[in-house]
Amino acid sequence: MHSLPAHIKALLSPSSYPSGPGEIELRQSHVSYLLFTPEFVYKIKKPVNFGFLDFTTLEKRRFYCEEEVRLNRRLAPRAYLGVVGITEKDGVYMMGGEGEPVEYAVKMKRLSEKRCLEHMLIAGSATEGLLTRVSHVLAAFHKNAATGGHISGFGSLDVIKKNTGENFSQTEPFIGKTLSAGLFLKIKEYTNAFIGSNAELFERRVSEGFVRDCHGDIHSAHVFAEEEGIEIIDCIEFNERFRFSDVVADEAFLSMDLDCHNRADLSEVLDLAYFAESGDREGARLLNFYKCYRAYVRGKVEGFKAFEEEVDEKERSDALLSALYHFHLSGLYASGRLKPMLLIVCGLPGTGKSTLAAEVAGRTGFVHLLSDALRKELAGLKPDEARPESYGEGIYSEHFTERTYAELAKRAEEFLRRGRSVIADATFSKRRHMKKVMDAADRAGAMVKIIECTASNSTVRARLEERRWATGNVSDADWRIYIGKKASFEEVGGPHIVAAAESTLQDNLLKVYREVFD
């Protein structure tokens, strides 16, 4: 706590608030301190200047607090309660105290994190009905948002070229780190070609009033399905260039973020409902372009974070993976179609395939289909219900194994046809098993990538011994089964990525992301 300013340290005490709220939680971003009480959130701007924002004086912080409340009440009228002064007397700080404020805070109602769209996407509880409601809120907001004059100028071809050109110049030094040279060129060529061939459309968007005072930062973490209605928080108040845009660029941010969570099915619902509600049919021609742009910007921002020394190592590592994945998405849009992917993760028991698969699934939202879980489901068993049968017998017989892989292929194809990427996590000791799921991917029009996990006998033996005593384990594989499978394991054919257990999980993740998401 020694690095915190005096007023922030003081505001961690309930006695600094008129209502004595109880426990207070501090969270931080690069530009704000956020103090969470059970009922409210107080957002205090840091005295920083990053060029694109300047909060270095008290007057500027007060102004932007007021702007934040004014602008955000358009889409979150119940969440934004006002601006509160922070006072100090004899070293005692008070939130909303009497006297001349020494600092200001935006006071917000604390929204339920379970009602946050990002939380619901991760939990699998987001519905088509919810996204339809969100689309109607956005269409109504855009219809009534301010336009004309100064605002319209931000939709000009010169500004669009400046924005995209800035992206490419700022990311060029990161080629080979957060994106490959080939991917960089593909996205740049697509972007410039699209702008060049659609100049009249961009100009028409300006003249017809589609460039408006938008939100600028609509992604799933900012959308809340409150009982009283949809609340979309945290619009950009500090820079007009980031907020004044074509309305399609605003909607495209959330659509791209749904794709990033592997919910292309929900982004399609959002897009169709939005354009039906707004009647902006010509704007639909810009959707893929702006999704490509939004994904690239997110990749750029995450890439910057990945190399900032003041950010801790874990955050930097996570940011690097996020950057690689967002640039991958941008490249898919540049290719003209967001194709789903089947990621096959294979290898003998104890090589770490399920750990790696679970990590990738948790970060990308890929549907994780685990053969061990499917096998037990088909047998009417609970996932962690032990069935330690001999190799090749019972639910591990050849007949039951064929049935398991058939079900794995069937479920993979069902998800892929809905536009959802899938991880098929299984031993795949026979090439015919892999061909079965690859054929399913081909029928669904999906890309296929293969990862083979490997480990030395000693590493496997130690892991399997450790697994014997673990609770909640799905796999029944022991040393006998490992030896049996290894003896009959057919080499993986064709191009594939090898993830060795002797490397760290983080190193393997980085290797997989660089080679899979290029």
What's the rounded mean pLDDT across residues 162-175?
Answer: 95
Out of 166-180, 202-216, 377-391, least confident range = 377-391
pLDDT of the residue at 77: 96
Asked whether residue 393 carries a pLDDT value surpassing 90, the answer given is no
* Arithmetic mean of pLDDT over the chain: 93
pLDDT of the residue at 2: 46
Residue 313: partners with Cβ closer than 8 Å, 6 or more residues away: none
Composition of the chain by helix, strand, coil, percent to 5: 55, 15, 30
Q: In sequence order, what DSSP letters do the residues of 351-371 get, joined into one string?
A: SSHHHHHHHHHHHH--EEEEH
pLDDT of the residue at 229: 94
Q: CA-CA distances (angstroms) from residue 172 to 181, 183, 228, 300, 333?
A: 9, 11, 46, 10, 19
Asked whether residue 3 carries a pLDDT value surpassing 90, the answer given is no
pLDDT in tens, 364-382: 999 999 998 999 899 898 8
**Residue 300: band (very low, low, confident or very high) from pLDDT cuts 50, 70, 90:** very high
Contact present, 288 and 190 (Cβ < 8 Å) = no
Asked whether residue 310 carries a pLDDT value surpassing 80, the answer given is no
Q: Using alpha carbons, select from 92, 290, 269, 314 the residue that is nearest to residue 201.
A: 290
List the domain boundaries for the chain: 6-110, 115-334, 341-516
As a whole number of angstroms, the distance between CA 44 and CA 61 comes to 8
pLDDT of the residue at 1: 42
What's the rounded mean pLDDT across residues 307-326?
Answer: 90
Asked whether residue 474 carries a pLDDT value surpassing 80, the answer given is no
Percent of the chain with pLDDT over 70: 97
Instruction: Specify the amino acid at residue 380.
Output: G
More confident residue, 102 or 2: 102
pLDDT of the residue at 396: 76
Q: In sequence order, what DSSP letters do the residues of 97-112 get, joined into one string?
A: -SS--SEEEEEEEPPP
As a whole number of angstroms, the distance between CA 191 and CA 184 comes to 11
pLDDT of the residue at 336: 87
Out of 275-289, 368-382, 402-416, 421-435, least confident range = 368-382
Q: Using alpha carbons, select from 39, 8, 38 the residue that is nearest to residue 26.
A: 8
Q: Using alpha carbons, select from 367, 121, 460, 70 the residue that is nearest to residue 468.
A: 460
Asked whether residue 395 carries a pLDDT value surpassing 90, the answer given is no
Domains 115-334 and 341-516 are alike in CATH topology: no
Q: What is the largest CA-CA distance in the chain?
A: 80
Asked whether residue 111 carries a pLDDT value surpassing 70, the answer given is yes
pLDDT in tens, 28-58: 888 899 999 999 999 999 999 988 899 999 9
Contact present, 361 and 423 (Cβ < 8 Å) = yes
As a whole number of angstroms, the distance between CA 97 and CA 80 comes to 19
**Residue 76: band (very low, low, confident or very high) from pLDDT cuts 50, 70, 90:** very high
pLDDT of the residue at 390: 62
pLDDT of the residue at 49: 92
What end-to-end distance do the CA atoms of the chain give, in Å? 41
* Claim: this prediction has a pTM higher than 0.75: yes
What CATH superfamily classification does 115-334 receive?
Answer: Aminoglycoside phosphotransferase (APH), C-terminal lobe (3.90.1200.10)
**Residue 392: band (very low, low, confident or very high) from pLDDT cuts 50, 70, 90:** low
| The CATH number fitting domain 341-516, selected from 3.40.50.12280, 3.40.50.300, 2.40.30.10, 3.30.1450.10 | 3.40.50.300
Contact present, 126 and 263 (Cβ < 8 Å) = yes
Contact present, 345 and 408 (Cβ < 8 Å) = no
What's the rounded mean pLDDT across residues 487-516?
Answer: 92
What's the rounded mean pLDDT across residues 257-278?
Answer: 97
Asked whether residue 387 carries a pLDDT value surpassing 70, the answer given is no
